[in-house]
Structure 1
């Protein structure tokens, strides 16, 4: 065999040995590092004594110029997905026109004294049709951070039947904080439950 063939054979043998070592090193069963996935979080807001972290991309309007969007949580094209309201000042005024939130009355999620409206993703405040019915389908207590809130879920019918929807409410009577989720469905339900589960209080 020529010298050139001997050199080629030696180089080939070294490549095979190195390749085999590399393969065996990766299959020995050693634990591979798992990438850490950090859940993204949006801004933190204060509603009365409650602090919550919004979903990424969500926005909270504490006060709007016309008052229609006060306390609204919005995302994307949805102008008022939910309301988070501090009612301490309103409930302390004996002359304020307010119905206290309660799961014991048909429109218990609505604090106004006028006709309730059917706020949904397609019918924001100011454009929503009149609510014609509100039937309680679930009630009890639900967690808001370390606290328990009075909870209710209503099936709401509307003058414009395309706006029929479900509404969820959390009411903290001591903290005077009201949370109302409009046009409730599975995706938003999970999001609101997560948001409220992470609530803290000062």
Structure 2
């Protein structure tokens, strides 16, 4: 089992992200408590996702969440902060406010052309998927840019890329998509991309508005 990791790396202080991310979930939804240290992360229950049409605000951006998902403001376990969670996928992707962390030099700035360019941590990323939650996912061994350019996020243009990710466990090999807004310092990542998840993320990002 791979050691649980946060996006800031083991040597960094996790609250730098959680304090910087002025995010909000829908009213009445609370992030589940973190499991005990000797327990595996609990999967979301069928009652966990938000109702359709729910929104989340991350930094200056507000989006309509994909049907059946919830945005996790606070981590229920290291590695879950900023996750889009559903009944079947504990971390479909992440939306992170990197303004404070980037300003303090605590992260590697995302890049559509850099190996692991979608990952702002300083450690090795994990291969997240429906059956490989943070904490049980194998480490990534490679990341190849398949396509890159610019893509819309609401009225803005983001630096965009799709990566082929290889993993210590070949069964977890997948594709990852990223959108990076360098002025707003907001990073969006889609883990283990499929055509259905691509459509869900594209729809969410088309709904984005900025304050």
Spell out, residue by residue over 1:85-110, the C-alpha distance to the aligned partner (whole angstroms, 9 max, x if none): 1001101113x2x1110012111011
- Please report how far the alpha carbon of residue 111 of structure 1 lies from its aligned counterpart in structure 2 after TM superposition: 0.7
Q: Which one scores higher on RCO, CA 8 angstroms, separation ≥ 6?
A: 2
Q: Structure 1 residue runs of 4+, over 6 Å off?
A: none
Query: 2: CA distance between counterparts of 1:186 and 1:175?
Result: 27
* Gap runs ≥5 in structure 2: 1-50
Query: 2: CA distance between counterparts of 1:133 and 1:56?
Result: 31
Query: 2: CA distance between counterparts of 1:116 and 1:55?
Result: 24
Q: TM-score, normalised by structure 1?
A: 0.77
Q: Alignment partner for residue 192 of structure 1, among 188, 193, 201?
A: 201
Is the aligned partner of 1:52 residue 2:52? no
Which segment is superposed worse, 121-130 or 174-183? 121-130
- Corresponding residue of 1:73: 84
* Gap runs ≥5 in structure 1: 1-39
Is the aligned partner of 1:114 residue 2:105? no
The CA RMSD measured in Å over matched residues stands at: 1.2
Question: Comparing both structures, which one devotes a greater share of its residues to helix?
Answer: 1
- Please report how far the alpha carbon of residue 131 of structure 1 lies from its aligned counterpart in structure 2 after TM superposition: 0.5
Q: TM-score, normalised by structure 2?
A: 0.74
Is the aligned partner of 1:171 residue 2:190? no
- Corresponding residue of 1:180: 189
